[in-house]
Amino acid sequence: MTVTRFAPSPTGYLHIGGLRTALFSWLTAQHDKGEFLLRIEDTDMARNSEEAKDAILKAFEWVGMSHDGEVVYQSKRFSLYTKYINQLLAEGKAYKCYMSKEELSILREEQMAKKERTRYDGRYRDFEGTAQEGVEPVIRIKAPQEGTISFKDGVKGEINIASSEVDDFVIARADGSPTYNFVVAIDDALMGLTQVIRGDDHLYNTPKQIVVYEALGLNIPDFYHVAMINNEQGKKLSKRDGATDVMDYKTMGYLPEALLNFLVRLGWSHGDQEIFSLAEMIALFEPQNINKSSSNYNLDKLLWLNAYYIKNSSDEALISLLKDFGVDLTANPKASVLLNATKERAKTLVELSAQIKLIAIAPTAYDEKSTKKAFKGEAKAILSTFADMLMLASPTSKEAYHSVMEKIVAEKEIGFGKIGMPLRVSLLGSMTGSGLDEIMFILGVEETIARIDKAIASIG
RNA sequence: GACCUUUUCAUCUAGUGGCCAAGGAUAUUACGUUUUCAACGUAAAAACAGAGGUUCAAAUCCUUUAGGGGUCGCCA
């Protein structure tokens, strides 16, 4: 059975790039009807935070990617790791290293000076004398000293790294706590991972982890290293490039399905298809089709997708989503018309709520440019006549409002713009926005006339 | 600096030696539609990183140069 995982360290919020790798893993598991596990990598006690962990879990909940089984915390598995460390020590596959941090940094400086890749020189690998006093040893694993470490990456193909590039790295710190590359290999194996899908910043960790798998005789999963997401200029994505926290997208009014659709198309595609429902993604996604090259983050496409998903969301869904944006349409009998009038011109829920508020709240100011253009000549007289006609007709449908407009256009022998422009400014305060007949229907006769009167009175 | 990796329109991508004088999408521009703004429709503009090779034939295979990204912790 396919088993994949996402394994964040709880040192901050869930990053947009992290969400994409998680999505790829999640989709792989769903596609194969396997399991998607979540593991919190909290071996570094100094840097972990409970809030960060909760934030990550919350982000997963928001996008609707659920994990199977219990969340695994590495901090709760230390005794397990210690057991393996002792085993390797007993088997002579790992050893205590008494090199001090100072000595290490001197070694590094020397190597830098010689323009070499910095690495531990293995000086305690076969050490048998008496340990020097005052240095608590770290434990290093014996990595192969000759040949190459090879593995097949599902994305990048065959990867060969010379053993000389991989040193005897630390598997347990001086205080006895295990390190990242050691515990990752153990957990991935013990959790039954079949495919490890992760960012390609881990590519160089893979040979190290293979050393661990082999020393412990554990099964090696298939690896898929996904290239990073960069900013639009192709540079590393940073906070300056806009939102990197997944939850920021919620507050900015994005729908989770739009975000996931956007992310799945970064580094993956299926022919010419752009829109993928969750079900389609699951049916079509296969990790072998992930692209090798890194992709650039581009907000325009996300906005377009978000607009698409807003336009195609049901009224009920939108009403529920809008509650977080200060708009409650639950009891509004005209909610459907209101949403129809607004959802085609909103790219985000923030914009949608603004559109709705624009209609719901009478304008307190009128856009200067618009008034200048709309309120010249006969405008006030036409508006006033129109108000009278509305009163008389008291329309009760969108169409009926439209008829009144048609009537005044015919009677006064004017173009639609002559009534449309000043009316729009009166109702909304500017010359952009939804259809007038819809707006008037939503407002009702009384409010429509009130806004017209107010505009006539206050526009000089 | 060493090692690994990557390179098709501004951006996401299709493309696995002939279906490619390179297709789709976003963004841009124009036109249409509309009382306005959108949405929508139609159209335009826009790329195989450079240089060598292999081949009857190269975006696709090879060599090399250049650019980008990653890694070099008792962080994860």
Calculate the angstrom distance between C1' of B59 and CA of A20: 28
In window 225-254 of A, residues with CB < 7 A from nucleic chain B are 227-228, 230, 232, 234-236
What is the side-by-side strand order in the sheet with A195-199? Answer: A157-162, A148-153, A222-226, A195-199
| pLDDT score, position A234 | 77
Percentage of residues of chain A with pLDDT beyond 90 = 77
Count of Cβ atoms closer than 10 Å to residue A396 Cβ: 11
Nucleotides of B under 7 A from a protein CB: 1-8, 10-14, 23-27, 34-40, 68-76
CA of A182 to C1' of B74 (A): 13
Q: Scanning the structure block, which residue is given the tokens 């593991």?
A: A39
Determine whether the distance from the CB of A421 to the nearest atom of strand B is below 7 Å: yes
- Minimum CA–C1' distance nucleotide for A11: B76
Sign of CA dihedral A236, A242, A247, A250: negative
User: Å from A29 (CA) to B71 (C1')?
Assistant: 29
**Measured CA A138 to C1' B32 distance, in angstroms:** 74
ipTM value, please give it.
Answer: 0.94
Query: Taking a C-beta distance cutoff of 8 angstroms, is the pair A435, A370 a contact?
Result: no
Is A114 near strand B, with its CB below 7 A from some atom of it? no
Pairwise CA distance, residues A33 & A98, whole Å = 48
* Distance B57 C1' – A419 CA (angstroms): 67
Among chain A residues 256-295, those with CB within 7 Å of any atom of strand B: 265-269, 271-272, 274, 289, 291-295
- Backbone torsions φ then ψ of A317, nearest 5 degrees: -60, -45
The model's pLDDT over A259-306, given as tens digits with 9 standing for 90+, comes to 999 999 999 999 999 999 999 999 999 999 999 999 999 899 999 999
What are the backbone angles phi and psi of residue A362, rounded to the nearest 5°? -65, 140
Q: What is the distance in angstroms measured between the alpha-carbon CA of A443 and the sugar C1' of B41? A: 32
Q: What is the pLDDT along chain A (460 residues), one digit of tens a residue?
A: 999 999 999 988 999 999 999 999 999 999 999 999 999 998 876 677 889 999 999 999 999 999 999 999 999 999 999 999 999 999 999 999 999 888 898 998 888 888 778 889 888 888 887 777 778 899 999 999 999 999 999 999 999 999 999 999 999 999 999 999 999 999 999 999 999 999 999 999 999 999 999 999 999 999 999 999 988 777 788 777 778 899 999 999 999 999 999 999 999 999 999 999 999 999 999 999 999 999 999 899 999 999 999 999 999 999 999 999 999 999 999 999 999 999 999 999 999 999 999 999 999 888 888 888 888 888 899 999 999 999 999 999 999 999 999 999 998 888 888 899 999 999 999 888 999 999 999 999 999 999 999 999 988 6
Query: Is A102 near strand B, with its CB below 7 A from some atom of it?
Result: no
Q: Which nucleotide is nearest to A308 (CA to C1')?
A: B39
Q: In this structure, are residues A136 and A162 in contact, taking their beta carbons and an 8 Å threshold?
A: no
Rounded to 5 degrees, φ, ψ at A180 are -50, -60
> Residue A201: which nucleotide is closest by CA–C1'?
B70
In this complex, the answer to whether residue A300 has its CB under 7 A from any atom of chain B, a nucleic strand, is yes
| Residues (49-78, chain A) with CB within 7 Å of strand B atoms | none
CA distances from A270 to A165, A200, A225, A353, A357 (A): 38, 22, 19, 34, 40
Establish whether the CB of A168 is closer than 7 Å to any nucleic acid atom in strand B.
Answer: no
Q: Is the CB of A134 under 7 A from strand B?
A: no
The answer to whether residues A228 and A201 touch, using CB atoms and an 8 Å cutoff, is yes
Q: Which residue has the tokens 């710190």?
A: A173
- Single out the residue of A185, A191, A161 nearest to residue A68, CA to CA: A191
> Which residues lie below 8 Å from residue A327, measured CB to CB, with a gap of 6+?
A353, A356, A357
Q: How far apart are CA A345 and CA A404, in angstroms?
A: 25
Question: How high is the pLDDT of residue A46?
Answer: 67
Nearest nt (C1') to A307 (CA)? Answer: B39
Distance A192 CA to B68 C1' (A): 36
Q: Which residues 182-221 on A are within 7 A of strand B at the CB atom?
A: 200-205
Give which of A295, A456, A271 is closest to A379, Cα–Cα: A456
| Protein residue minimizing CA–C1' distance to B70 | A201
Residue nearest to nucleotide B68 (CA to C1'): A234
Cα→Cα distances A249→A16, A63, A262, A437, Å: 9, 10, 12, 34
What is the per-residue pLDDT for A41?
Answer: 93
The span from the CA of A1 to the CA of A28, in Å, is 11
Tokens (6 digits) for A425:
């400014």
Residue with smallest Cα–C1' gap to B27: A300
Q: Which nucleotide is nearest to A405 (CA to C1')?
A: B35
Give CA–CA dist A323/A382, Å, rounded: 39
| Cβ A132 to strand B below 7 Å | no
CA A302 / C1′ B36 distance in Å: 27
Distance A277 CA to B34 C1' (A): 32
CA distance linking residue A101 with residue A222, whole number of Å: 35
Q: What per-residue confidence (pLDDT) applies to A45?
A: 67
Distance CA A450, CA A361 (A): 12
The upper half-sphere exposure of residue A155, i.e. CA atoms within 13 Å in the direction of its Cβ, equals 23
Neighbours of A111 (CB within 10 A): 14
Pairing mode of beta strands A229-230, A295-296: parallel
- Let me know the angle formed at the C-alpha of A445 by A314 and A435, rounded to the nearest 5 degrees: 45
Q: In 10 A of CB A98, how many CB atoms?
A: 19
